[in-house]
Structure 1
């Protein structure tokens, strides 16, 4: 079963913001449509287009009478508006009409002006006389016609005036009521045409800006996550900063810090227990060794001494784990060749007693490394002790140091199979369950090397036995 990928917060925000913006625009358009429905506006654009189509079609015959030619533009307009009608009058009273003209418009212009409810009177564009508004309104004095304007000349304008007027005409039934069945599809199309470009523009803007805003807002969280990724057993006391973390994420970071603190306290208690137990074991082990040495030299007493030695070595390795807790400030510059020579000298009696020839190959000159000396000494001791325990009980064990900062411990035993060369670094892992070792030496040595910016690996080659190499960063000479 495939693991489900976690959701991306920024794309969730993008989708939801786009949907929210679309919903807000839809509500806004709906409110505007409701307001227009209540105001009952009328759309005059088509009427203005009718006048524009008629202008080029109006002419006079040879006898001077008015005539309207059926131009291509006028024909196309009639096809678009089959119910269009018009009346063309001149100053002499001549007129030409077409279509089903309402009776109110067939009278004289003066009678028409007296019959309209309200209208806007506009003069020529170059005429400085202002436009005016005319309305036939009922008053206490009875029905009157009011003509008014806000200025007496266009020169009195404030510099720039913008007048926006929109009128919508809804289809009506014969009784004058609105025919919404015919009007709603067209109204929906108009709303979609108006709404879609706005949604697209706002959606693209959101798509571009939201990821940048989210990345900037969560930059502190990214830094905190990078610091969390660097936490390991040696930096368990680290606390993640919450200063640049978003307020909504801060409780999670604080809970994580508290968890780290609890884990550190628990690890310290566990570590102190192991250390105290190892210290307490050393005294009874020493007493037991002393008493075993007083026994007669028999096979059983020899095996008992070996078991006591194994137990003592295990207690020492548990104590060696304390070396891993020492900070990097305890590093110092040491001569790796001299350090390895001292370890080889310390283990020479034990190796000879176990049946080996222990040799040391020094480097051509001094090899200086900046390390925790006591830790590296214990790591080398574990490598040599591992060779003594698993080298087959014969042949030579060699400790070799080179100028690059490498130390090799070689034996002539059965070696380590290639498929087991990583497993042997696991704690308490042993190739032979009945072997004398506890399975901690190589694991401890690798941890120490890592704490000192080095590494340990098992070399491959055609030689006999095993070769374990510890590589440390050598200082330039």
Structure 2
């Protein structure tokens, strides 16, 4: 079965936005082309407009003389451009002109200029003669070449003038018709050359800005997901914020918060039940111990007392395990050497009675740590008790404190196989099924160490027996 790869919401949005923009651009180009095709507009500037008006006004009188009719269109144009001048000349050299003709334009032109179909005449920057248009047009009077301009001098503009002159000449067949076979490929190349820079700029801008915009839009969701990843059993009361979450994701975050609240309530109820049960067990166990001590001394009575002691120890460990979930203060600064020495002194009678030699090797100087002293006492006591219970009453148990904040308990028993190093820290796991322990000691020790930012490890080496090291962070005064 093919594994389904999760999709990135960010890149899904980016791809769709890019496709949307590309589709919008194509639709705009298509509509713009359609409008141009239907409307067939002509871009006329002032001089070109003058040529178009003169085309309909030029005619001949009854004697064949070239004239320009004062059409209504020409009158309106003269009101807007009173400085209009023109020279209309036919193929025979007959001419008609109007207005203040600038120097040089009124002279008879060369054969080459007479043969020009359309051109724009201009002069260098220091010359005040205006720009004019030369155009050969078909009129009622026949083919006429017109030279015209709406100004008599370049100093008549109003400060800024933009001149646009664009001529499109297409390849033609010998009969004068457009050679579309040659024109269409070139036209496509021209269109691509005009549109490609726009497409590239839009594409690059989209690829650069769209991911940043989408990433910024999803920043609140990413931050919320990061906070959700930090939720564990020790801070299950945390609620995810919804202020920066997109509106569409808010119901999911709220549902997640409600689920966290329900799980926290259930977990608290479970803990209270176990704590209450452990408390309630202590009273009947104490009564059983008292009654068992009143029995006559025989092997059955001794085994009964051992079973009661084991049951009492299990109830106490269950209670201690539940108390680990209760909030504690910042702790107090203690000397691990002094604290461990007191614990070793308390266990000395028990170890000697079980057949062991108990040795204490303190560090050469004080080792301070900021801890909950009662919990650390419990953790170290669990390690010593574990050594007493599993070494068959032989050898020496050594408790060592070093300057790095480590507390080691070493024994000379059968040791712990390396493949069991992780399993022995699991709750209720016993390396030997018939052991008198409950399987909670090492688990409690590890939990206590983690609460204090420390760790518990089973060391490996050529020595005989087991070596378990509890390491705590040293206290560093501000």
What whole-Å deviation, never above 9, does each CA across 1:321-362 have from its counterpart, x for those lacking one? 233224353410112122212222333333334333333333
CA 203–121 in structure 1, closer or farther in 2 if over 3 Å, else same: closer
Structure 1 equivalent of residue 273 of structure 2: 273
Q: CA deviation at 1:179?
A: 12
CA 132–265 in structure 1, closer or farther in 2 if over 3 Å, else same: farther
Q: CA deviation at 1:255?
A: 3.2
Structure 2 equivalent of residue 443 of structure 1: 443
Write the mapping of 1:324-343 to structure 2, written as runs, cut at 5 A. Answer: 324-327=324-327, 329-343=329-343
Q: CA deviation at 1:3?
A: 4.5
Structure 2 equivalent of residue 406 of structure 1: 406
Structure 1 equivalent of residue 32 of structure 2: 32
Structure 2 equivalent of residue 162 of structure 1: 162
The total of aligned residue pairs comes to: 398
Structure 1 equivalent of residue 359 of structure 2: 359
Q: CA deviation at 1:302?
A: 2.5
CA 444–93 in structure 1, closer or farther in 2 if over 3 Å, else same: same
Q: CA deviation at 1:432?
A: 1.7
- In the alignment, the residues of structure 2 paired with residue 332 and residue 270 of structure 1 have an alpha-carbon distance, to the nearest angstrom, of 30
The DSSP-based 3-state class of the residue aligned with 2:274 is helix
- In the alignment, the residues of structure 2 paired with residue 216 and residue 10 of structure 1 have an alpha-carbon distance, to the nearest angstrom, of 10
Q: CA deviation at 1:91?
A: 6.3
- In the alignment, the residues of structure 2 paired with residue 23 and residue 348 of structure 1 have an alpha-carbon distance, to the nearest angstrom, of 85
Which is further off, 275-284 or 188-197? 188-197
What whole-Å deviation, never above 9, does each CA across 1:356-382 have from its counterpart, x for those lacking one? 333333333322211111111111121
CA 349–31 in structure 1, closer or farther in 2 if over 3 Å, else same: same
CA 120–179 in structure 1, closer or farther in 2 if over 3 Å, else same: closer
CA 19–36 in structure 1, closer or farther in 2 if over 3 Å, else same: same
CA 167–437 in structure 1, closer or farther in 2 if over 3 Å, else same: farther
- In the alignment, the residues of structure 2 paired with residue 460 and residue 129 of structure 1 have an alpha-carbon distance, to the nearest angstrom, of 99
Q: CA deviation at 1:442?
A: 0.6
Q: Say yes or no: does 1:350 pair with 2:350.
A: yes
Q: Say yes or no: does 1:14 pair with 2:10.
A: no
- In the alignment, the residues of structure 2 paired with residue 312 and residue 168 of structure 1 have an alpha-carbon distance, to the nearest angstrom, of 105
Structure 1 equivalent of residue 130 of structure 2: 128
The DSSP-based 3-state class of the residue aligned with 2:316 is helix
Over the aligned positions, Cα root-mean-square deviation in angstroms equals: 4.0
- In the alignment, the residues of structure 1 paired with residue 275 and residue 171 of structure 2 have an alpha-carbon distance, to the nearest angstrom, of 94
Structure 2 equivalent of residue 202 of structure 1: 202
Q: Contact 2:459 / 2:467 at 8 angstroms: preserved in 1?
A: yes
Q: CA deviation at 1:37?
A: 1.1
**Structure 2 runs not aligned, ≥5 long:** 45-88, 95-116, 140-147, 173-177
Q: CA deviation at 1:39?
A: 1.6
Q: CA deviation at 1:4?
A: 3.9
Q: Contact 1:392 / 1:412 at 8 angstroms: preserved in 2?
A: no
The DSSP-based 3-state class of the residue aligned with 1:432 is coil
- In the alignment, the residues of structure 1 paired with residue 232 and residue 205 of structure 2 have an alpha-carbon distance, to the nearest angstrom, of 42
The DSSP-based 3-state class of the residue aligned with 2:400 is strand
CA 283–333 in structure 1, closer or farther in 2 if over 3 Å, else same: same
- In the alignment, the residues of structure 2 paired with residue 159 and residue 133 of structure 1 have an alpha-carbon distance, to the nearest angstrom, of 27
CA 12–168 in structure 1, closer or farther in 2 if over 3 Å, else same: farther
Structure 2 equivalent of residue 323 of structure 1: 323
- In the alignment, the residues of structure 1 paired with residue 165 and residue 133 of structure 2 have an alpha-carbon distance, to the nearest angstrom, of 15
What whole-Å deviation, never above 9, does each CA across 1:104-125 have from its counterpart, x for those lacking one? xxxxxxxxxxxxxxx9997655
Q: CA deviation at 1:316?
A: 0.8
- In the alignment, the residues of structure 2 paired with residue 476 and residue 149 of structure 1 have an alpha-carbon distance, to the nearest angstrom, of 92
CA 35–10 in structure 1, closer or farther in 2 if over 3 Å, else same: same
What whole-Å deviation, never above 9, does each CA across 1:276-317 have from its counterpart, x for those lacking one? 111111111111222222223333332222222221111111
The DSSP-based 3-state class of the residue aligned with 2:324 is helix
Write the mapping of 1:110-129 to structure 2, written as runs, cut at 5 A. Answer: 127-128=129-130
The DSSP-based 3-state class of the residue aligned with 1:464 is coil
Structure 2 equivalent of residue 313 of structure 1: 313
